[in-house]
């Protein structure tokens, strides 16, 4: 009997170890689920991705004419020759979308869901791709360069690459393809999938009370929709009212983010009047901030062209106290010194010297031909070249002038270093950048584009190939895809939509289409493990006491 008990004990130890390992894998997201093959396959810095969108003509026209609805349509997408036969695509954007709708352009940004209609389909691991139209950026480079500098400064950033976008085989324009901040991104950057992910659509991160209902402007974007808001509320309470902040916030990561965003005069962000374009991700109760939507970095949003008005210790459009993530951290002398050291590195390594000259020249050589031939460009080719070096006066953009990238960087570098050395003030009596708020909506950026228009002021529509009588035809060599359940691929009213959503209803925030991980989820693993251990302990105790009864 002693031998049997010994064997059972060994079995218990082994099973406990397996349980702990399983929990570690499923509970912390360590096990690869999506993989990062898409990085080497598609997102190369020296290559322009080629994306062909094959879509029914009626669906395309509906998407162009009703872009503001952001309604998904079925399509097929070919990326660098790889066919993804059944995807969902829609227009995307906020102020940029509404501005293009009111203009004579149809150059919209797009969002593609690879597994929204074909379960488990990914683009080599990526589930959702954004095609950004470089709105209000004559250089085409602002977002790309900003992400690159964030990444080099140790901030997690999405994969990105320039993409020549075709619609039914005809060149539509040069875009920036950007990975969505969803589970594949989280796995690649954090080796973690089970934390809560929030996207800000306008939230200053103030503490408003203990209830979830006290907070607006934050959308849950993680797969687990029942986010634990108590963790976020606790972090906000400590941030605003005091406590052990490093227990709840990745302070160093936030300081890096703030330093880069400030140095790049990136005010279409948490620091700007709208308080948006950032994500919060929680890992083991600790939150970090992630950048998003950087096409107006390098002074493209609410900037008056005077770098000395960007006060490095109050880098906000409006009172710094209204942005506690900045105000509270920079009140701490240790944190402020760390932030200053990052600004010093940015000013001397990235904004001055030959870094930007080298990178803008490299990118120019990569994309110039695509820009020259871009049929939907917001700006002329001459403006594209001028905007790289240019002047602080800049070129007309959304709500104001967009300065040249290198001119802005040089001016910001000089101002930052003078503020760090006490030659210029780094504060403005709590007022930040003063009244430099959100620019006026609806400003035209098309005055010099000279794009053809038709009656009604819309851009001339180019003929779309592969369309016969409104029936969508697949690319050559590919069978017409059949969606799950046999749904038709007809016009908008026939498209397959998520449960409970009808025509014209935005699919956000549940439009991620994240596939469920195969196997057991965390709660199931925990329950099974606890149950198994309980049974084994019971068996051992029963055997032990039965033996004692017979001995007595």
Residue 229 C-alpha from the chain's centroid: 21
The SS3 assignment for 173 reads strand
Compute the CA torsion angle 264, 268, 272, 277 (nearest 10 deg).
Answer: -110
For residue 305, give every residue at least 6 positions away whose Cβ sits within 8 Å of its Cβ, in sequence order, or none: 299, 392, 393, 394, 401, 403
pLDDT at site 436: 57
Other beta carbons less than 10 A from residue 201's beta carbon: 16
* pLDDT for 160 beyond 70: yes
Q: What is the mean pLDDT of the chain?
A: 81
Query: What mean pLDDT comes out for the span 331-354?
Result: 98
pLDDT at site 116: 87
pLDDT at site 3: 56
Report the greatest alpha carbon distance in the chain: 103
pLDDT at site 456: 29
How many helices, marked H, and strands, marked E, lie in the chain? Answer: 14, 15
* pLDDT for 152 beyond 60: yes
Kindly indicate the confidence band of residue 539, based on its pLDDT and cuts at 50, 70 and 90.
Answer: low
Output the CA–CA distances (angstroms, integers) from residue 234 to 206, 227, 251, in the order listed: 11, 14, 15
11: cis peptide before it, omega within 30°?
A: no
Q: Report which of 101, 149, 133 is spatially closest to residue 371, judged by C-alpha positions.
A: 133
State how far the Cα of 195 lies from the Cα of 287, in Å rounded to an integer: 9
Q: Report which of 263, 260, 238 is spatially closest to residue 249, judged by C-alpha positions.
A: 238
Angle, helices 324-331 vs 251-263, to 10°: value is 110
CB 370 within 8 A of CB 358: no
Beta bridge partners of 130: 111, 178
Quickly tell me which residue has 């199931």 as its tokens: 524
* pLDDT for 329 beyond 80: yes
The SS3 assignment for 181 reads coil
Give, for 282, the enclosing helix (H) or strand (E): strand 278-283
State how far the Cα of 437 lies from the Cα of 393, in Å rounded to an integer: 19
pLDDT at site 2: 56
Output the CA–CA distances (angstroms, integers) from residue 126 to 79, 113, 289, 375, 512, in the order listed: 12, 9, 21, 28, 11
pLDDT at site 451: 31
pLDDT at site 57: 98
* pLDDT for 513 beyond 70: no
Output the CA–CA distances (angstroms, integers) from residue 298 to 15, 160, 408, in the order listed: 56, 18, 6
At 72, list the tokens.
């998904």
Beta bridge partners of 281: 197, 288
* pLDDT for 439 beyond 80: no
Beta bridge partners of 162: 176
pLDDT at site 305: 85
160-167 and 49-54 strand pairing: parallel
Q: Report which of 367, 276, 300, 304 is spatially closest to residue 136, judged by C-alpha positions.
A: 300
Query: What mean pLDDT comes out for the span 495-507?
Result: 31
Enter the DSSP assignment of 402.
E
Kindly indicate the confidence band of residue 226, based on its pLDDT and cuts at 50, 70 and 90.
Answer: confident
CB 116 within 8 A of CB 23: no
CB 112 within 8 A of CB 128: yes
Please give the share of the chain, as a percent, with pLDDT higher than 90: 68
Query: What mean pLDDT comes out for the span 255-263?
Result: 98
State how far the Cα of 225 lies from the Cα of 212, in Å rounded to an integer: 14
Query: What mean pLDDT comes out for the span 64-72?
Result: 98
- Positions of E strands within 93-123: 109-113
At 161, list the tokens.
């690459």
Query: What mean pLDDT comes out for the span 516-541?
Result: 48
Kindly indicate the confidence band of residue 55, based on its pLDDT and cuts at 50, 70 and 90.
Answer: very high
Give, for 148, the enclosing helix (H) or strand (E): helix 142-152
pLDDT at site 32: 63
State how far the Cα of 58 lies from the Cα of 465, in Å rounded to an integer: 13
> What is the per-residue pLDDT across 297-312, written as a single tens digit (0 to 9) for each?
999 998 888 999 999 9
Buried b (16+ CB within 10 A) or exposed e, 84-116: bbbbbbbbbbebbbebbbebbbbbbbbbbbbbb
State how far the Cα of 146 lies from the Cα of 131, in Å rounded to an integer: 17
CB 50 within 8 A of CB 166: yes
For residue 77, give every residue at least 6 positions away whose Cβ sits within 8 Å of its Cβ, in sequence order, or none: 51, 52, 53, 54, 83, 84, 87, 89, 112, 114
Buried b (16+ CB within 10 A) or exposed e, 241-277: eeeebeebbbbebbbbbbbbbbbbbbbbbbbbbbbbb
Alpha helices of 373-487 — where are they, by DSSP H? 381-386, 405-420
Enter the DSSP assignment of 481.
P
> What is the per-residue pLDDT across 24-54, written as a single tens digit (0 to 9) for each?
433 444 456 888 999 999 999 999 999 999 9
CB 49 within 8 A of CB 177: yes
Give, for 91, the enclosing helix (H) or strand (E): strand 82-92
pTM of the model: 0.79
Lowest mean pLDDT among 156-170, 376-390, 396-410: 396-410
Query: What mean pLDDT comes out for the span 403-420?
Result: 98
Buried b (16+ CB within 10 A) or exposed e, 357-385: eebbeebbeebeebbeebebbbbbeebbb
Query: What mean pLDDT comes out for the span 427-436?
Result: 86
Name the residue ranges covered by the structural domains of the chain: 2-31+518-551, 241-420
Q: Report which of 196, 435, 198 is spatially closest to residue 309, judged by C-alpha positions.
A: 435
> What is the per-residue pLDDT across 451-500, written as a single tens digit (0 to 9) for each?
333 222 233 333 333 333 333 344 344 343 333 333 333 333 333 333 22
Please give the share of the chain, as a percent, with pLDDT higher than 70: 72
Query: What mean pLDDT comes out for the span 95-109?
Result: 96
């Amino acid at each position: 009997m002693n031998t049997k008990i010994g064997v059972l004990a060994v079995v218990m130890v082994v099973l406990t170890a397996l349980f702990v390992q399983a929990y570690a894998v499923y509970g912390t997201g360590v096990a690869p689920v999506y993989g990062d093959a898409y990085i080497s396959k598609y997102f190369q810095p020296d290559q322009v991705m080629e994306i062909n969108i094959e879509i029914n003509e009626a669906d395309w026209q509906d998407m162009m004419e009703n872009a503001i609805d952001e309604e998904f349509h079925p399509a097929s997408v070919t990326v660098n020759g790889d066919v993804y036969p059944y995807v969902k695509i829609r227009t995307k954007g906020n102020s940029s979308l509404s501005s293009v709708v009111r203009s004579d352009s149809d150059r919209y940004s797009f969002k593609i869901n690879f597994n929204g209609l074909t379960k488990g389909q990914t683009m080599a691991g990526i589930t959702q791709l954004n095609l950004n139209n470089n709105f209000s950026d004559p250089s085409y480079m602002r977002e790309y360069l900003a992400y690159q500098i964030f990444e080099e400064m140790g901030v997690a950033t999405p994969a990105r690459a320039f993409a020549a976008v075709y619609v039914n085989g005809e060149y539509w324009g040069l875009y920036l393809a950007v990975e969505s901040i969803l589970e594949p991104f989280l796995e690649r950057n954090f080796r973690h999938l089970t934390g809560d992910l929030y996207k800000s659509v306008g939230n200053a991160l103030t503490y408003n009370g203990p209830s979830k209902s006290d907070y607006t402007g934050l959308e849950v974007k993680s797969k687990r929709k029942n986010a634990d808001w108590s963790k976020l509320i606790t972090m906000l309470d400590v941030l605003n009212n005091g406590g052990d902040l490093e227990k709840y916030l990745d302070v160093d990561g936030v300081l890096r983010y703030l330093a880069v965003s400030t140095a790049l005069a990136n005010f279409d962000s948490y620091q700007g009047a709208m308080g948006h374009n950032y994500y919060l991700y929680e890992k083991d109760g600790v939150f970090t901030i992630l950048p998003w939507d950087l096409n107006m970095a390098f002074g493209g949003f609410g900037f008056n062209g005077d770098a000395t008005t960007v006060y490095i210790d109050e880098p906000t459009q409006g009172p710094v106290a209204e942005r506690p993530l900045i105000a509270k951290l920079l009140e701490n002398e240790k944190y402020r010194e760390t932030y200053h050291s990052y600004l010093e590195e940015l000013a001397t390594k990235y904004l001055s010297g030959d870094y930007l000259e080298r990178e803008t020249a490299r990118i120019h050589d990569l994309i110039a031909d695509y820009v020259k031939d871009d049929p939907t460009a917001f700006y002329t080719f001459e403006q594209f070249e001028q905007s790289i070096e240019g002047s602080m006066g800049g070129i007309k953009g959304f709500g104001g002038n967009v300065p040249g990238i290198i001119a802005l960087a040089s001016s910001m570098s000089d101002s930052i270093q003078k503020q760090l050395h006490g030659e210029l003030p780094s504060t403005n009596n709590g007022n930040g950048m003063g009244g430099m708020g959100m620019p006026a909506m609806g400003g035209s950026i098309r005055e010099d584009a000279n794009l053809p228009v038709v009656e009604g002021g819309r851009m001339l529509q180019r003929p779309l190939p592969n369309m016969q009588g409104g029936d969508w035809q697949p690319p050559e060599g590919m069978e017409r895809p059949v969606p799950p359940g046999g749904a038709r691929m007809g016009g908008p009213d026939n498209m397959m939509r998520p449960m409970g959503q009808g025509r014209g209803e935005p699919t956000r925030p549940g439009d991620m289409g994240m596939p469920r991980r195969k196997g057991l989820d965390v709660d199931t693993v925990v329950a099974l493990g606890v149950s198994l251990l309980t049974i084994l302990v019971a068996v051992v105790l029963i055997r032990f006491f039965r033996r004692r009864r017979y001995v007595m």
